[in-house]
Amino acid sequence: MIEHVPQVLLNLTLKAKKPLDELPSTTACIRKVEHELNGDGRVLVRWSGTEPKLRILVEGSDSTRIDELARDIADAAQAELGA
C-alpha cells in the first residue's frame, strides 16, 4: 500500500544556473530542512535540464510546514542568485 504525503513543488526562474555545491547558503538551507524533517519527509532540489529554473520539492506530513520549508530554500537561492 502506498502512503500519500503532502508535497510542495516550486519552480524558480533565476538569473544564473550554478552548481548547487557553489551555493553555500542554499546548500546549508537544504541541509537544515532535511535535518528538520528528521526522516519524516524528503527534499529534492535540482536544476531543470532545459531552463534556468531551480526545482524545489519538499514532502512531509505537515503541509503548512513543508510549504514554509520549501520557501526557505527558495529564499536562500534567490538571495544568492537573484530572481
Give dist(CA 67, CA 10) in Å, integer: 9
Which grid coordinates are listed for 56?
Answer: 524545489
**Residue 30: inside a domain, yes or no?**
yes
**Residue 1: inside a domain, yes or no?**
no
**Residue 2: inside a domain, yes or no?**
no
Domain of 61, in residue numbers: 7-81
For every residue of 11-68, DSSP letters joined together read EEE-S----GGG-HHHHHHHHHHHHHHTTSEEEEEEE-SSSSEEEEEEEES-HHHHHH
What's the structural domain count of the chain?
1
**What percent of the chain has pLDDT above 90?**
80
Which grid coordinates are listed for 5?
Answer: 504525503
CATH of the domain at 71: 3.30.310.50
**Model pTM score:** 0.92
Examine the pLDDT at 13 and tell me if it is beyond 80: yes
| Intra-chain end-to-end CA distance of the chain, in Å | 41
Greater model confidence, 17 or 2: 17
**Residue 75: inside a domain, yes or no?**
yes
Examine the pLDDT at 83 and tell me if it is beyond 70: no
**pLDDT tens across 37-55, in order?**
998 899 999 999 988 899 9
